[in-house]
Amino acid sequence: IGTGKYNNFKETRSAIDASESEIVTVAIRRINLGQSSDEPSLLDFLPPNEFTYLPNTAGCYTSEEAIRTLRLARELLDGHNLVKLEVLGDPDTLYPNVIETINAAKILIADGFDVMVYTSDDPIVAKELEEIGCCAIMPLASLIGSGQGIANPFNIKIIKDQANVPVLVDAGIGCASDAAEAMELGCDGVLMNSTITIEE
């Protein structure tokens, strides 16, 4: 579950508790984990001994930005290596730039990171990311925050069928039935944020 878009960290904690999620993803460029000492830190509300943190590179548009952001996350979280890589290609759709993503993944994996990677629903790209060494593939269902559900279930099924690592649907889940569809396609999990935080 994501940790963005809540009104405050207390509300974030309530939502995480209600979800019973064990993994929380955190946008390092948007949420304070101690990089701003004069502001509340998410770590005080979601202690790392209670949750698995998955720092992400939301808001990064180049491989260099993403690499720098995750190296900062590793420092802030005392050597934590499990990360979510996303390199965006377009500020309007937030569609991933797979070329920059692949470049960043190679460098991060060589640097000792365990990379879960947000990508398009292209099975060829997904397989290449696995072969580079990504520990999980996270294809979009549809555009980030759109709530449109799984736009191309056939590609998600291909990605899952050929994968030897976990596949988690990321982005575009709009309701419980979308999450159920992802699980019916065989996916190992679903990442959600906007579906929970945005009121209709």
Those residues whose C-beta lies under 8 Å from the C-beta of residue 59, and which sit 6 or more positions away, are: 27, 29, 30, 88
Those residues whose C-beta lies under 8 Å from the C-beta of residue 144, and which sit 6 or more positions away, are: 94, 171, 172, 194
Q: What DSSP assignment string belongs to 115-129?
A: EEEEE-S-HHHHHHH
In this structure, the number of other CB atoms found within 10 A of the CB of residue 124 comes to: 12
Q: Alpha-carbon distance 173 to 149, whole Å? A: 5
- State yes or no: is 10 an active-site residue: no
Residue among 60, 54, 82, 76 nearest 192 (CA)? 54
Residues 13, 46: contact at Cβ < 8 Å? Answer: yes
In the numeric block, the tokens 């398009």 are attached to 120
Question: Which is catalytic among the residues 84, 106, 127, 160?
Answer: 84
Q: Alpha-carbon distance 151 to 173, whole Å? A: 10
| Cα maximum dimension of the chain | 48
Catalytic residues, by residue number, are: 84
